[in-house]
Amino acid sequence: MTHPVISLAQALIQRESVTPEDAGCQHMMNERLSAIGFDIESLFFTDTLNTWARKGTQSPHFCFAGHTDVVPTGPEKNWQHPPFTGLIEDGLLHGRGAADMKGSLAAMVVATERFVSKHPDHKGSISFLITSDEEGPFINGTTRVIDTLEERGEKIDMCLVGEPSSRDVLGDVVKNGRRGSLTGFLTIKGVQGHVAYPHLAQNPIHLAMPALTELSQTVWDMGNDFFPATSFQISNINGGTGAGNVIPGELEVQFNFRFSTEVTHQQLQQKVNAILQKHNLNYELNWIVNGLPFLTDHGPLVDATVAAIKSVTGLITQLETTGGTSDGRFIAQTGAKVIELGPRNATIHKVDECVSTDDLIALTDIYEQILEQLLT
């Protein structure tokens, strides 16, 4: 007999919810949650469907967070199995979103159903914050829901984001924080001219090189026990007209910081400006703060998660802050404790994305035990 979590994961995968589309995934989840006493609130912003579902009004308030949208598949002919069929073969559930993160969503719902059935009068509150805009520009998704909750004073105490955190085996890694991400768009201005008459021009590429070298070699901080040192990487450089005999008038440089809790984005911006000014550059610089760093240290949420993983898998999990950003960054800024726990991430965003069915069953058990420890 098929396990309930596998059936639900298959049904979610069969919905072609390429970002920012939800394709009925949230409705499917909401029907299940409503049946066990959740109040359902659908929040639609511009092009994005979000769900805020809550059972209970008291603290502690535990939230499951995740997304129903998936990245595009690319040419489906390159897939061994059609990406939206949810086919199971050799113990693997195949399909776009199987690992990122419809499998986790199914585990959350089934774990909650089992927990509520055993503990209908559990303490505190359980909620679900689900969006269809995590894989896209993340403008009208979780961040907008958090803004709505903040406006009405509704606070999350603890949050588990179902991102695929595991590396080699289920539960070997839990993300208990994330680095911040800061992107700079730099335009260095020179004077266009003929390459044969450099004295009549100012080459912005030549002018920029010493400053860019210094930026790439600067030690921004030393990191700490949970975060590596802040990194600076140039991702794009564009200069020139395409002609070989023209000195360009401008150089455009895009760069990114992944930064720890040892430094703020304001401090990074100030230091970059100081270096550019030291080199007497004529420049314009615009910034985008993609996300602020957050860290959830040992406490009820982390300890319950570590204990649940050990109970189900026998593993002693590793707490890490590596990788990119997630929607956890928006939730953490409200003061909530946030961790990320999901299946293995080896196939996410790839052709032939898949997840172990045994892992989804075990993940459901882990999620249920976390609820047991925090809300009973």
Q: Return the active site residues.
A: 69, 134
Residues 6+ away with beta carbon under 8 Å from 22: 15, 49, 68, 69, 132
From the centroid of its chain, how far is CA 358? 24
**What whole-number distance in Å separates Cα of residue 270 and Cα of residue 261?**
16
Q: What are phi and psi of 304, to 5 degrees?
A: -65, -40
CA dihedral 109, 101, 16, 42 (to 10 degrees): 50
DSSP string, 143-203: HHHHHHHHHTT---SEEEE----BSSSTTSEEE-EE-EEEEEEEEEE-B-EETT-GGG-B-
342 burial (CB, 10 Å; 0-12 / 13-18 / 19+) is: buried
- Do the beta carbons of residue 161 and residue 328 sit within 8 Å? yes
Q: Sign of the C-alpha dihedral, residues 316, 327, 101, 58?
A: positive
AA letter at 352 = D
